[in-house]
Amino acid sequence: MAKVPELFGSMVFNDQMMLERLPKATYKALKKTIQNGEPLDESVANVVASAMKDWAIEKGCTHYTHWFQPMTGITAEKHDSFITPNGDGQVIMEFSGKELVKGEPDASSFPSGGIRATFEARGYTTWDPTSYAFAKDGTLYIPTAFCSYTGEVLDKKTPLLRSMERISTEACKVLNLLGKTDVTRVTTTVGPEQEYFLIDKDVYDQRKDLIYTGRTLFGAKAPKGQELDDHYFGAIKTRVASFMADLDNELWKLGILAKTKHNEVAPSQHELAPIFTTTNIATDHNELTMEVMKKIAEKHGLVCLLHEKPFAGVNGSGKHNNWSISTNTGENLLDPGKTPENNIQFQLFLAAIVKAVHEYQDLLRISVASAGNDHRLGANEAPPAIISMYLGDDLGALVDSIINGTEYVSKGKIKMSTGVDVLPDFKKDTSDRNRTSPFAFTGNKFEFRALGSALNIACPNIMLNTMVAEELSEFYDELKDASDLDAAVKALIKKTFTEHQAIIFNGNNYAPEWVEEAEKRGLLNLKSLPDAVEHYIDQKNIDLFTKNKIYSVDEIHARYEIELENYAKIINIEALTMIDMAKKDMIPAVTSYVRELTDTALAKKALSDAIPTSVEEDLITSLSNKLVCFSKKTAELENAVIGASEYEGDVLAYAKYYRESVFSVMTELRAIGDAMETETAADYWPYPSYGEMLYGV
Ligand code: ADP
Ligand code: MG
């Protein structure tokens, strides 16, 4: 097997490949485009395309695809071969600059929230040269952005690139004002930690709910869950270890910096964390990682579940979005340094983030809203639906001292003694890890922890970049004409911390008292997707996006509609799946079992009145009663689904109806179904049990 450094990036047309294979002038022109966003000449594009194609053919490719991230939440691709007839019945392999730069997928079936209906039916994809092309399964993948013909954004990448541009511009202005004139570009960086479940493919194939919805809609708890905490960081089973090794290899080939792997809290749950990189690439890489995970799992006879809550009763899966800002001069702007009390620049950026999170808490909540993630937020396994931020004892004390004008005493790094001579003493990290906060400062970055595992990380990062850019721009306007800049900056920091301290919370976010306290502080508690997404179109949010040119008013409305509609569709599919399972499998299964019990009881009685039949009779009675309730509830759910059509004209009411009137009945139906499962003989139950799913690998 190839050594890792040779393997790494071997399927990527990266900078080194460009340097090797492009004429110098072409390489320089392309670099300019990548670094400064300058448009690319067609003649240059032709040369790049040809070199890319030759490289791709060497890697076994016959096709190319424009790879994009429409608003479905997954990536999209359409493969075209390189073949071109040469006139005498033969073909040659060709790829032009035009084909590299622009594609025209049939866009009519992608969600657009009504945008395309009112404008143009077509859409096009454009090459994003800031994310490298790569070869995978015989196809050259070209990362692209997706727009309508009239320029409306139809994807997640375009607004992400725009938001990165915005924060760069505004951060540079502030830094230049503070005297850092050599800073010309600022980049946000992200390292997303990805959680997932692995279960046996044979078991998966027997569960309609997993197949149709990605989560179990029924299923009584196994006798053992996660209460022993014996899975977290536990030894990795052979089959899982070989999956992980294979996965690392595939990811490394694609230039993805897969770094850490371990078992997570729930049985069968695992995590993969990459080393951070620029936000745009981190997003592409996270999408690829999820896709490759699924594929490699299949090779191992496994299924990778990325749903946020595949199993009730054990933890679901999330994604931690580690986010920071750094300059082209190599400085991490969120690094407080040794003496944060004297680091005015750090304080100013921190103040901008505190203000941003406070003013746009709704947008952060919206950015992580999904039908799947609704099961996690606030369920004591993930941060609550209330957005707040954790700064840790040290920074918290610093902010307090700034607000109160008192002296700041650093708690410093407490030396911890391990008490064992052979182990070196280590310094306790001053930003102690608060695992319950949705938005925690972790030394030199913020960790946004409310993301669901299946989410495309573009949206939360669009929000973060844009809202911080907005605050920095306001700061700049306030400071630019100051006669005493130093005093003005200090006053601004103090004012900002004072006005926005309500968003800072260093305590336990899982505690019920926090819900009350947060309400007193006026923080939002948006419990479900419809509750959250409702605020997408609040005037202040529309102002933010339009002023910063991330979305037009139409584009925001489109996203609002897509989110709500998609939510309703997901709940609808889940409800229909439950009805199908109930009627086709569960009711017949319990009926058969009751029949067997009845036959047994009757047979016993026929033999002799002296043989007790109370066990059978009790079970027959209990299951028959449940069966009546279950069947009634199924009918109720069917009616609830039919009732939704009344709300179709109003997308918000429609989504809320699904939450309040369909989802609630599903929960009740599940409870009865699960109770029947516990009383029915395993041989009769139509589905693999929780035990078989969670402990079957
Ligand atoms: P944890 O204990 O939460 O797993 P780590 O320090 O191991 O924390 O980092 C978790 C993630 O944060 C990794 O993906 C890492 O690459 C990422 N990370 C570290 N520094 C930065 C940074 N400056 N910007 C963005 N992400 C970062
Ligand atoms: Mg983690």
- CB distance 186 to 326 below 8 Å: yes
The number of angstroms, rounded, from the C-alpha of 427 to the middle of its chain's C-alpha atoms is: 32
Q: What are the tokens at 306?
A: 């990325």
Residue nearest ligand 1's atom 19 by CA: 276
Q: Which residue has the tokens 């191992």?
A: 300
Atom number in ligand 1 closest to CA 192: 14
Ligand nearest to the CA of 321: 1
Q: How far is the CA of 318 from the centre of ligand 2 (A)?
A: 9
Q: Give me the DSSP letters along 270-317.
A: EEEEEPPEEHHHHHHHHHHHHHHHHHHHHHTTEEEE--S-SSTTS---
Pocket test of ligand 1: the residue of 265, 283, 322, 435 to mutate, having most ligand atoms within 8 Å of its CB, is 322
pLDDT tens string 382-406: 888 999 999 998 899 999 999 999 9
pLDDT for residue 413 is more than 60 = no
How far apart CA 341 and CA 241 sit, in angstroms, is 46
For residue 360, the model assigns a pLDDT of 98
pLDDT tens string 667-682: 999 999 999 999 999 9
Please report which confidence band the pLDDT of residue 112 belongs to, taking 50, 70 and 90 as the band edges: confident
- CB distance 426 to 286 below 8 Å: no
For residue 425, the model assigns a pLDDT of 43
Phi-psi region of 259 (alpha: psi -120 to 50; beta: other; left: phi over 0): alpha
Please report which confidence band the pLDDT of residue 116 belongs to, taking 50, 70 and 90 as the band edges: low
E strands, 380-425, are 389-390, 415-416
How far apart CA 312 and CA 664 sit, in angstroms, is 15
Please report which confidence band the pLDDT of residue 109 belongs to, taking 50, 70 and 90 as the band edges: confident
pLDDT for residue 434 is more than 80 = no
Q: Which residue has the tokens 């750094």?
A: 326
3-state SS assignment for residue 647? helix
- CB distance 497 to 402 below 8 Å: yes
The CB density around residue 643, as the number of other CB atoms within 10 Å, is 12
Phi and psi (nearest 5°) for 459? -60, -55
- CB distance 367 to 460 below 8 Å: yes
The number of angstroms, rounded, from the C-alpha of 300 to the middle of its chain's C-alpha atoms is: 25
pLDDT for residue 530 is more than 70 = yes
For residue 502, the model assigns a pLDDT of 98
For residue 167, the model assigns a pLDDT of 98
Atom number in ligand 1 closest to CA 190: 25
pLDDT tens string 330-342: 999 999 999 999 9
Ligand nearest to the CA of 323: 1
pLDDT tens string 224-277: 888 888 888 888 899 999 999 999 999 999 999 999 999 999 999 999 999 999
Residues 518-531: b if buried by 16+ CB within 10 A, e if exposed = beebebbbbbbbbb
pLDDT tens string 472-512: 999 999 999 999 999 999 999 999 999 999 999 999 999 99
Q: What's this model's pTM, rounded to 2 decimal places?
A: 0.94
Pocket test of ligand 1: the residue of 186, 263, 272, 276 to mutate, having most ligand atoms within 8 Å of its CB, is 276
Q: How far is the CA of 310 from the centre of ligand 2 (A)?
A: 18
DSSP 432: -
pLDDT tens string 28-56: 999 988 877 677 888 999 999 999 999 99
Q: How far is the CA of 72 from the centre of ligand 2 (A)?
A: 26
Atom number in ligand 1 closest to CA 323: 25
Atom number in ligand 1 closest to CA 322: 26
Q: How far is the CA of 187 from the centre of ligand 1 (A)?
A: 16
Percent of the chain with pLDDT over 90: 83
Question: Which protein residues touch ligand 1 with a CB less than 6 Å away?
Answer: 189-191, 193, 273-276, 322-324, 332, 444-445
pLDDT tens string 621-657: 999 999 999 999 999 999 999 999 999 999 999 999 9
Q: How far is the CA of 4 from the centre of ligand 2 (A)?
A: 25
For residue 1, the model assigns a pLDDT of 64
DSSP 230: -
Q: Which residue has the tokens 């680091």?
A: 343
Atom number in ligand 1 closest to CA 275: 16
Ligand nearest to the CA of 232: 2
Atom number in ligand 1 closest to CA 273: 14
Please report the domains of the chain, with CATH numbers, ordered by start residue: 4-155 (3.10.20.70), 163-413+427-551 (3.30.590.10), 567-694 (1.20.120.1560)
Ligand nearest to the CA of 322: 1
Atom number in ligand 1 closest to CA 274: 14
Percent of the chain with pLDDT over 70: 95
Q: Which residue has the tokens 């130093």?
A: 486
Q: How far is the CA of 275 from the centre of ligand 2 (A)?
A: 13
What is the radius of gyration, based on Cα positions, of the chain?
28
Residue 397 Cα distances to 357, 430, 616, angstroms: 19, 11, 67
How far apart CA 62 and CA 17 sit, in angstroms, is 19
Which residue intervals of 372-457 are DSSP H helices? Answer: 392-404
Q: Give me the DSSP letters along 150-209.
A: TS-B-BSHHHHHHHHHHHHHHHHHHHHHTT-TT---EEEEEEEEEEEEEEEHHHHTT-HH
- ∠ Cα 43 129 48 (to 5°): 35
pLDDT tens string 594-610: 999 999 999 999 999 99
Q: How far is the CA of 232 from the centre of ligand 2 (A)?
A: 11
Q: Give me the DSSP letters along 37-96.
A: -PPPPHHHHHHHHHHHHHHHHHTT--EEEEEB-BTTSS-B--EEE-EEE-SSS-EEE---
Burial label, 8 (beta-carbon count in 10 A; 0-12, 13-18, 19+): buried
Q: How far is the CA of 319 from the centre of ligand 2 (A)?
A: 8
Strand 186-200 with 139-148, pairing: unpaired
pLDDT for residue 117 is more than 60 = no
